[in-house]
A = this chain, B = another copy of it.
């Protein structure tokens, strides 16, 4: 009956999101929210496992590593298995040591915090890498809806792109990330510079994530970071970016 589902209609976007999220093994709780609205009985987000559980598993690449345009299979495979994979293993190991350390009453809190720093670092590395690979594999063409939202958030779409590219180029030769995010406290779309895995904007939902650690490009481009920036833009999966925006039900002001 129409009345029963009003306001909770399953949109085409929701369906696409559901399929993609399942396929990619991505199940961000935030993304689940609008899907939940589409399902009468599934109103809540479950807490999945304990804080200290050592159950992190690498998520498979959501695309064939040989299929990218201008980014080599060797680069992508190494990035995924060594840098991302290494951080997944390190996160589990860190949580194992934290669980032990928590019961050690003689451990000074500042030494405990040395492990918490590793925890923050590895959490950032795992989460950001997952979002990064998940927004690669596309054709680099932003659809109208994403362009409209970014136009609303930045005055015009080109201004968004100019800033995002500038931040990326400025990080060449160092380490860090660039993200476009929705700052949920301010209600704004903003680009953020981050110098390592621990840097993140507060209370912000990442929408487009770009790795600028040198392991993201040196195998292919050496120190020519600008070539990598171009290649990254050519491979953005804008459908994923849009799906993340739609999961938040973002609309222009």
Q: Which residues of B are found within 8 Å of A66, using beta-carbon distances?
A: none
Number of copies: 4
Report A64-92 residues with CB < 8 Å from chain B CB.
74, 78, 82-83, 86-87, 90
A114 in complex: contacting residue of B115, B189, B190, CB < 8 Å: B115
Q: A223 and B83 in contact (CB under 8 A), knowing A123-B201, A185-B130, A189-B51?
A: yes
A187-214 CB contact bits vs B (8 Å, 1 = yes)?
Answer: 1111111111111111111100000011
The closest CB in chain B to the CB of A3 belongs to B4
Q: A192 and B37 in contact (CB under 8 A), knowing A45-B249, A115-B114?
A: no
Contact A111 B94 (CB under 8 A): yes
Could you show 27 A-B contacts with beta carbons less than 8 Å apart?
A4-B6, A7-B43, A8-B8, A33-B33, A33-B249, A36-B249, A37-B37, A45-B248, A49-B187, A50-B155, A50-B188, A51-B160, A51-B190, A74-B222, A93-B111, A102-B163, A109-B166, A110-B118, A114-B115, A116-B193, A119-B192, A124-B201, A126-B185, A175-B196, A197-B202, A198-B199, A215-B223
CA–CA, A199 and B102, complex, Å: 22
The closest CB in chain B to the CB of A41 belongs to B7
Contact B27 A113 (CB under 8 A): no
A108-134 CB contact bits vs B (8 Å, 1 = yes)?
Answer: 111111111111100110111011000
